[in-house]
Amino acid sequence: MPDTDLAAATRLARRLCHAVKDLAEPHPLTTEHVVTVGIGVTAAHPAAEAAGEAAGASRLAAFVKSADVALHRAKHC
């Protein structure tokens, strides 16, 4: 989400998780018997100047790792 910092994105993710939970949509195959979502949040800021392809790949890998960690944490939404 452009122009959204990590704190604002986190607040939105929590609101979305709670909104879905509050719907209490039945789902017989889950432990809670309702539909739930997990939303992981991470943020990145574009570099002021290109630092080369290798550095860009490294930043991308770090971003993906951060997103993966956030998704695992989201299980406790």
Domain locations in the chain? 6-76
Q: Tell me the whole-structure pTM to 2 decimals.
A: 0.66
CB 49 within 8 A of CB 76: no
Phi first, then psi, for residue 44 (nearest 5°) are -145, 150
pLDDT tens digits, one per residue of 38-51: 888 888 776 644 55
Average pLDDT (1-23) is 90
The whole-angstrom separation of Cα 12 and Cα 14 is 5
pLDDT of residue 66: 85
pLDDT at residue 68 above 70? yes
Neighbours of 41 (CB within 10 A): 21
What percent of the chain shows pLDDT beyond 70?
Answer: 82
Higher model confidence: residue 6 or residue 44? 6
